[in-house]
Structures are given as structure tokens and as C-alpha cells.
């Protein structure tokens, strides 16, 4: 028979003595309830008490339980305990201890538990004379002091429920709408919204909201010139390298040229000196505006001395402005006006009288009558005024003009005559028109001895803008004008001139 050792239950406050049989796993608690209570004091995650001890505690009952209290334990230490050892199964090897996971630290909202007082350890009792030590066994006290329990980890009191963190209430995400007057946008205050309508009142959506700018996704511009346009066309539009800087600038000019025009707009092209390109500028400007705009454009030859505007555009001079004046009271529609005009592309041309024998002076009153009829059916009226400024028709041209174009050249005589034209206009009460005028320098005759930058700076100080028309062999021939036959630089210069004129449409 092996020796039986007694050990007090490890639960603080329990005085039950537990028999420890050699060869069997050591038991620390007298019952499963005390074992569970001990686990709670150590954090609820100690697995070292499971295994053979559970089986021993659950299978023990009555006298064979091996649990005694006080003197009863000493009385049963020689008899019944031996019978219990005989009936006990073969000792099993102790279960391997399971690593204890670290206990969760108290969170910020969990109250700290009160400090537990250390468990008092009872003093060893004197040896019982009735039970002397057996041979080969050292004397030991009948009631050895139980080992000190392991340090208890701080836990909240059992009676105090552990507060649980409630999940945050679900908040629906705020829809992200573009900054549009009809979409609500977040206001500075929480939970408040501010609508785009004045006064914070919601506005009802209308059909005006569905426009190209609001519902169509941005699209890359399609190149039309150079290698970029070739790649785009060869790939069937699948490869878009984008437009070049020159083409992008041209697209900007096109948008300016196509600016909305609320009513009829009259443009006067004048010069004090002949032979500087006044008729050429009038014709090409008319072709450019008619080509890139969707409204009606007409060019009028107001030169009383057999002007050449129709010769440069259409070559049809059979019907002139004089015949239109003879029947002006009968004109009541665009069809009736078209009987006296010719067509160059999309530009309507009204020629001047070419026969010197039938020519009569074209005075201010007649010019105003022509312009009154044309303004009813055309949006843009370009007037090629005659050479000089003192004739009667020129007075009517300047009086009705919304935009003024003064033509000159980067030469000594061309630039000086253009500047004298501005002097004459200022002296006769047209200072406001001069400030808004555009000076065009036709560079078909250039010389390296002329300081062109100084000439340009001179006119920029007196007018709104200056445009230089580069030399073009097609313009230098003096024949029929065609936009497709001109160089790209020439077309770009006239497109810039048209954009500058169109900037005044809204004014």
C-alpha cells in the first residue's frame, strides 16, 4: 500500500482535505463545483484542471470519494481509503498542461476590480500521536499546510455584470452628387442640407437639367490633322493620341467664333489707302464666319467706284446693289433678297455697280436702306467700304457699324496710312469705335528692314487687338478666293480675326 497524503482544497476558504494517492494525478479541489469556482478566480481560461482530475471527482461518491473533513479524514486514512485505492483504476499519466492564453486587459470603460486580499494560510498542525510515522517514511504532520494558491488575476466582482459594448447604430452613407444647382449639398451643420435654390428652398427638376454638359461624360477631342489624325483614322477611332497644341488652340478659336449672336451685327472694313488688302480681308473674313457658323452671313460691296468684292468671291456681277435699290420696296422675304445676291460657299455676296456709265453715287441714305433690309434676314453683315473716308457712304457705314476693322501693312506707307485712319476717326467723334477696333496687317509685302514688332506695339497701344495675315501665294494672285487653297497659317490668322470679332457679339 502506498502512502496517502492529505492536501487542503485549493479554493480559498475551503477546509476540506483531499487524499493524494501516489501514482495518480494530483487533485487540487475537492469537488467539480470548487474546481469551477477556482477557474473563475483565475480568469476562466485555465484548462489545467481538466482530464484525470475531472474523472476522479465525477466518479467519486460516498465513502470512496477520498474527501474527508477534520477528524473523519484521519479516521478513514487507514481503512476505507485503502479499499478505495484497490477499487481505483490503473493510474493514468497526467494530462499535458495546455498553455494559458493571456487574459484580456480591462478596457477604458470597464471598472477596475477591487484588490483581492491574500488568502490566509493556516499554520501546520502538530503530529497526531495516534498515527505515528511508518518505517521508511519521514515524519510529517497530520495536517500539512496547503501550498499557497497561485496569484489571482484581477477580475471584476462576480455580482457586477461586465458591461458589453453595443455596436454603433447604422448610418446610411451620404450620396455623393456633383455640385449641381438641383442636387442637395451638405450644409455646415450636422444633419442639415442646403439646396442650390436661393433661400435654401428645394427646386423642382425640369427638362432644362438634361443637357449635354450635365449628362454626357467628358470625351477626348478627336484629332483631325497631322500624325495624330492619321493614327486615329487608321485605327478606326480605337487609338486616340489626343490633339496637338496647335489643334487645341484652333478648337478654342472655333468655340469663340461660334458664340451666340442675339441680333444682327454689322462689321465695317475700312482703310484710308487702297491696295493694302482691304477687299481681301473683307472676303476671307466673310468666308470664315460663314464656314464655321450656322447663321446667315452676307458681304456688301459699298465701294462707289466699281468695287471688286464680287469678282474675288463669285465672279457674278450681273445683279448689283443698284438693282436692289430700285426694287427695295418689294423685298419682303429672304427669297426676294437672294434674287440680288450670289453665293460663295455659304457666304451671300451683294455686288456693287460695275458699269461706269450706269454708276451713280452710293450715298449714306441708300446704304442705310440696304442695311435695314439685310438686317431683317441676315445675322452678320460685312461691309467692304470704299477707299477714303470722306464720301457719303462711309458716313453711313461708320454710323451703323458694331465692329470696326482697319487694314494696313507692315510697311512705312501702309502702317502710317492705317494710323492716320485712326487719327481721322478720333477727330470725327469715333474714339469709342477706335478703342474697340481690330487692326489687320497684311504681310504680303515685308522687308527685313522694317521693325514689325514696333509697328505691332504701336497699334496695340491704340486699338483692342492686332492680327497679322502671313504671306500666302493664293492671296497674292488677286484672283478667286478659296479657303481650301490657302495655307494653314493663313486660315488660322483669319480664324483668330473672326474670334476677335465674335467676342463683341454678346456686348
Per domain, the residue ranges of the chain are 5-87, 220-257, 262-502
- Average pLDDT of 430-439? 94
Model pLDDT, residue 145: 54
Cα separation, 342 vs 333, in Å, equals 16
Q: End-to-end CA distance of the chain, in Å?
A: 122
Q: Which of 444 and 472 is assigned the larger pLDDT?
A: 472
Which letter does DSSP use for residue 228 in this model?
A: H
For residue range 320-339, what is the model confidence (pLDDT) as tens digits? 888 898 899 999 999 999 99
Cα separation, 351 vs 335, in Å, equals 17
Q: Which of 19 and 177 is assigned the larger pLDDT?
A: 19
Model pLDDT, residue 130: 45
120-129, 406-415, 436-445 — which is least confidently predicted?
Answer: 120-129
Question: Is residue 69's pLDDT more than 90?
Answer: no
Share of the chain above pLDDT 90, in %: 31
Please choose, from the candidates 269, 272, 260, the residue with its C-alpha nearest in 3D space to the C-alpha of residue 469.
Answer: 269
Model pLDDT, residue 7: 81
Model pLDDT, residue 210: 87
In CATH, what is the architecture of 262-502?
A: 3-Layer(aba) Sandwich (3.40)
For residue range 79-113, what is the model confidence (pLDDT) as tens digits? 444 434 444 445 455 555 555 655 545 444 444 44
The whole-model pTM stands at 0.58
Q: Which of 396 and 115 is assigned the larger pLDDT?
A: 396
Question: Is residue 76's pLDDT more than 80?
Answer: no
Q: What is the CA radius of gyration of the chain?
A: 55
Please choose, from the candidates 399, 366, 358, 256, the residue with its C-alpha nearest in 3D space to the C-alpha of residue 300.
Answer: 366
Model pLDDT, residue 378: 95
Helix (H) or strand (E) holding 392: helix 392-400
Helix (H) or strand (E) holding 192: none
> Are the C-beta atoms of 16 and 37 separated by less than 8 Å?
no
For residue range 265-292, what is the model confidence (pLDDT) as tens digits? 999 999 887 778 899 999 999 999 999 9
Name every residue whose Cβ is closer than 8 Å to that of residue 115 and which is 6 or more positions away in sequence.
154
Cα separation, 420 vs 417, in Å, equals 5
Q: What is the DSSP string of 309-377?
A: HHHHHT---SSBHHHHHHTGGG--SHHHHHTT-EEETTEEEEBPP--TTT-----HHHHHHHHHHHHHH
For residue range 215-260, what is the model confidence (pLDDT) as tens digits? 888 777 888 888 888 888 898 888 888 888 888 899 999 999 999 9
Amino acid at each position: 500500500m502506498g502512502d496517502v497524503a492529505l492536501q487542503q482544497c485549493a479554493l480559498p476558504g475551503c477546509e476540506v482535505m483531499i487524499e493524494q494517492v501516489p501514482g495518480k494525478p494530483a487533485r487540487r479541489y475537492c469537488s467539480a463545483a470548487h474546481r469551477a469556482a477556482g477557474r473563475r478566480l483565475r480568469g476562466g481560461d485555465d484548462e489545467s484542471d481538466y482530464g484525470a482530475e475531472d474523472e476522479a471527482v465525477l466518479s467519486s461518491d460516498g465513502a470512496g470519494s477520498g474527501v474527508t473533513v477534520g477528524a473523519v479524514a484521519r479516521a478513514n486514512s487507514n481503512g476505507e481509503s485503502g479499499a478505495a485505492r484497490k477499487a481505483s483504476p490503473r493510474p493514468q499519466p497526467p494530462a499535458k498542461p495546455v498553455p494559458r492564453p493571456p487574459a484580456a486587459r480591462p478596457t477604458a470603460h470597464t471598472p477596475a476590480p477591487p484588490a483581492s486580499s491574500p488568502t490566509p494560510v493556516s499554520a501546520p498542525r502538530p503530529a497526531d500521536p495516534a498515527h505515528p510515522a511508518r518505517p521508511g517514511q519521514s515524519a510529517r504532520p497530520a495536517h500539512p499546510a496547503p501550498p499557497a494558491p497561485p496569484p489571482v488575476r484581477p477580475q471584476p466582482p462576480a455580482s457586477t455584470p461586465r458591461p458589453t459594448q453595443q455596436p454603433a447604430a447604422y448610418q446610411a452613407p451620404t450620396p455623393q452628387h456633383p455640385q449641381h444647382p438641383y442636387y442637395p449639398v451638405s450644409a455646415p451643420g450636422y444633419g442639415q442640407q442646403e439646396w442650390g435654390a436661393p433661400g435654401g428652398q428645394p427646386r423642382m427638376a425640369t427638362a432644362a437639367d438634361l443637357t449635354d454638359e450635365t449628362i454626357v461624360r467628358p470625351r477626348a477631342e478627336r484629332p483631325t490633322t497631322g500624325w495624330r489624325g492619321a493614327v486615329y483614322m487608321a485605327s478606326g477611332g480605337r487609338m486616340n493620341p489626343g490633339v496637338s497644341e496647335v489643334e487645341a488652340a484652333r478648337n478654342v478659336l472655333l468655340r469663340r467664333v461660334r458664340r451666340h449672336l442675339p441680333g444682327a451685327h454689322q462689321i465695317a472694313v475700312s482703310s484710308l489707302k487702297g491696295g493694302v488688302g482691304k477687299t481681301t480681308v473683307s472676303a476671307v473674313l466673310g468666308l470664315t464666319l460663314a464656314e464655321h457658323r450656322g447663321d446667315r452671313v452676307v458681304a456688301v460691296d459699298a465701294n462707289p467706284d466699281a468695287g471688286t468684292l464680287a469678282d474675288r468671291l463669285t465672279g457674278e456681277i450681273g445683279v448689283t446693289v443698284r438693282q436692289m435699290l430700285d426694287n427695295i420696296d418689294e423685298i419682303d422675304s429672304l427669297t426676294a433678297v437672294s434674287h440680288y445676291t450670289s453665293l460663295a460657299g455659304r457666304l451671300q455676296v451683294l455686288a456693287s455697280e460695275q458699269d461706269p456709265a450706269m454708276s451713280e453715287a452710293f450715298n449714306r441714305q441708300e446704304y442705310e436702306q440696304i442695311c435695314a433690309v439685310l438686317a431683317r434676314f441676315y445675322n452678320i453683315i460685312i461691309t467692304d467700304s470704299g477707299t477714303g473716308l470722306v464720301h457719303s457712304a462711309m458716313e453711313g457705314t461708320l454710323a451703323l457699324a458694331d465692329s470696326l476693322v482697319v487694314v494696313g501693312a507692315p510697311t512705312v506707307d501702309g502702317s502710317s496710312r492705317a494710323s492716320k485712319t485712326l487719327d481721322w476717326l478720333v477727330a470725327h467723334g469715333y474714339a469709342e469705335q477706335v478703342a474697340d477696333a481690330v487692326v489687320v496687317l497684311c504681310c504680303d509685302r515685308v522687308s527685313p528692314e522694317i521693325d514689325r514688332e514696333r509697328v505691332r506695339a504701336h497699334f496695340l497701344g491704340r486699338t483692342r487687338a492686332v492680327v497679322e495675315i502671313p504671306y500666302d501665294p493664293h492671296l497674292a494672285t488677286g484672283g478667286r478666293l478659296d479657303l481650301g487653297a490657302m495655307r494653314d497659317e493663313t486660315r488660322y490668322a483669319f480664324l483668330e480675326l473672326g474670334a476677335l470679332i465674335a467676342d463683341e457679339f454678346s456686348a
